[in-house]
Structure formats: structure tokens, C-alpha cells
Structure 1
Amino acid sequence: MSKRDLALDLFRSYKTGFIKKSKPVQERTNTPGDPTLISEVMSDLINQRDWHLGIAEGTLFSSWKEIVGSSIASHTTPLSLLDGALLIQCSSTAWATQLTAVGQDLLNTVQSSTPGAGVTSLSFIGPQAPSWKRGLRTIKNERGPRDTYG
């Protein structure tokens, strides 16, 4: 038997006798130095600081156009949310009157799109009237521009 045959026999016997055992796959455990996803960090921060209500309010104000639609959003602006009452300023008194009439439907839409905000009622106001008070010296109970030309 030559060296080559001996080596070939040894190789064949080794190859048939060797069965590779697969190791079970272990899940990697996170160590304190490992990076984490920013979504996990933000979720933990929101839960720790109990910011759920603030996040829902911010979503309501920032997504106003998507919630109520572009036609209503172009004539309205949400101003504040205090104790469940959402104050909405309208571009005209006519818009305030019309939205008051359909207020319950609008309230249902707002509640379904941002349930965490806790909106329980809607209040509509018209546009701000101009102020005739200018400067330090003004007359109390003045009647607007009529008193300035007299």
C-alpha cells in the first residue's frame, strides 16, 4: 500500500466517521453597551414620563388638516385643549355657526382619530375683532374709530 492509498483511506474513514453537529441557535441577549432602536428608547421615555396625553394633543394639533379635511381646516384653527374642551377659531362667524350645527359629527371624527387626546366637547369662536386701544393714553369705554374724529 502506498502512502497515497493510505492517506486516501484515512481521509475516507475520517469523512464518514465525522458528523457535524449543529449547535442550537441562541438568541442574542442585549448587553448594556449594545445600541438600541430609537423607537424603543422613545417608547420607554414616553412611558416613564407619562407623556401619552401630550403626544395625543400634539398629534391632534399637527394633523388637524388630515383629521377634519382640507375644506374645514382652511377655515379653522384649533387654539387650545383644556379639560377636554377643544377651542376652535373660525375664519368667520358664518363658519362658526355652521360648524356648531355639525359639531357632534366633527366631535366624533376628532375622537375617533385621536382617542388619547381626551376631547369631550368642541367650542367654536369667530375671528378676533380689531382692538382700538393704541398707546398708553386711551379713553376708557371708547366706541372705536367714531371717537377719534370728533
Structure 2
Amino acid sequence: MADDDVALPPPRWGQRRSNFVPRRRFASRKWSGPGPDKRDPQPLGRLLGQTMRRNGWQTNLAHAGVFARWAQIVGSDIADHCRPESLKDGELVVVAESTAWATQLRLFHKQIYAKLTAELGRGVVTRLRIQGPTQPGRVNGPRRVRFNISRDTF
């Protein structure tokens, strides 16, 4: 034995050595107990919500919600006669099937905007632009007549 290695006598019953550290089983592991814990399996909806917030996908999801739930948001009567065309920088472009429906939707644009804000949240749609139908130009020959009206059928 070297001089540094000093043999300590075994501890007596009820006594501990001065350098003795009691060994705890699974000292690094904490048990969750009877209540819920962050290590427990999580519902898929909660995990998807956390992933969307962490990656900043909330605006993309809200934009997709406008197109996917259009009939649910504005109602089936309005959705049968118009459709959302695009959503860019908060401006939603809605195309009506006729100029009469475009005029009717322009009269109710505040109510439509309120429904969109209530369903999707503030800031998703900031401006609502309603357009009538677009029709192709009628060029059938070498000469043509320019019309000043929309040539919409009633």
C-alpha cells in the first residue's frame, strides 16, 4: 500500500464514514407522479399547434383557411355566387359571377369583412376588394367595335 492509500475501518452500525455518499437509485431520473407531465404523450393537435407557432406558419394557415372554409364563413347563399380569387398583403379579392352580384356584395362588404375577421382573426384580411366577372375580348375579324359597357348578361 502506498502512503496515500489509508484503509478506513468499516463503519459501525448506525455510523457513516465522513466521505461516504449514499447512492441513490436513478438519481438523475425524476418520476412524473400521478399528474400529467411534459414527458407524457401529447395530443397531436397540441403538437401541431406548437410546431406551427415555432415555425411561423400561422399566417399561411390562416390564408389557406379563407379559401378552404369560404362557404362556411360567408354562408352557402353567397358562396354559390362568388369565390375568393387571391389573398395578398391582407387584400382579399373576391370575384362575383355577375355584375349584379358584385354590386350586391359591395353593399354588404362590411358584414362579409366582419365575418372574416370573426372566423380568422384580426389582421388576416385587412381589405376586401370585390370584382365582377372578367370576359374575354371578342375579336372575330379584321374590324371590331369597342363597347363601353361590360357586356354582362342579365
Amino acid at match of 1:145: N
Runs (4+) off by over 4 Å: 28-31
Bigger helix share: 1
Q: How has the CA–CA distance of structure 1 residues 147 and 122 changed in structure 2, closer, same or farther, with 3 Å as cutoff?
A: same
C-alpha RMSD of matched pairs (Å): 2.4
Give the CA deviation at 1:55. Answer: 1.1
Please list every run of 5 or more consecutive structure 2 residues that lacks an aligned counterpart in the other structure: 1-32, 145-154
Aligned length in residues: 112
The answer for the alignment partner of 2:44 in structure 1 is 38
Superposition TM-score, scaled by structure 1 size: 0.64
Q: Secondary structure at the match of 1:147?
A: coil
1 CA distance for matches of 2:99 and 2:55?
A: 40
The percentage of aligned residue pairs carrying the same residue is 29
Please list every run of 5 or more consecutive structure 1 residues that lacks an aligned counterpart in the other structure: 1-24, 133-143
Q: Is 1:102 matched with 2:97?
A: no
Give the CA deviation at 1:39. Answer: 1.6
Superposition TM-score, scaled by structure 2 size: 0.63
Q: Secondary structure at the match of 1:81?
A: strand
Give the CA deviation at 1:29. Answer: 4.7
Q: Over residues 10-43 of structure 1, what are the superposed CA-to-partner deviations in whole Å (9 max), with x where a residue is unaligned?
A: xxxxxxxxxxxxxxx5446565xx7543223211
Q: Over residues 82-131 of structure 1, what are the superposed CA-to-partner deviations in whole Å (9 max), with x where a residue is unaligned?
A: 12111001101111111112211211111112115521211111112124
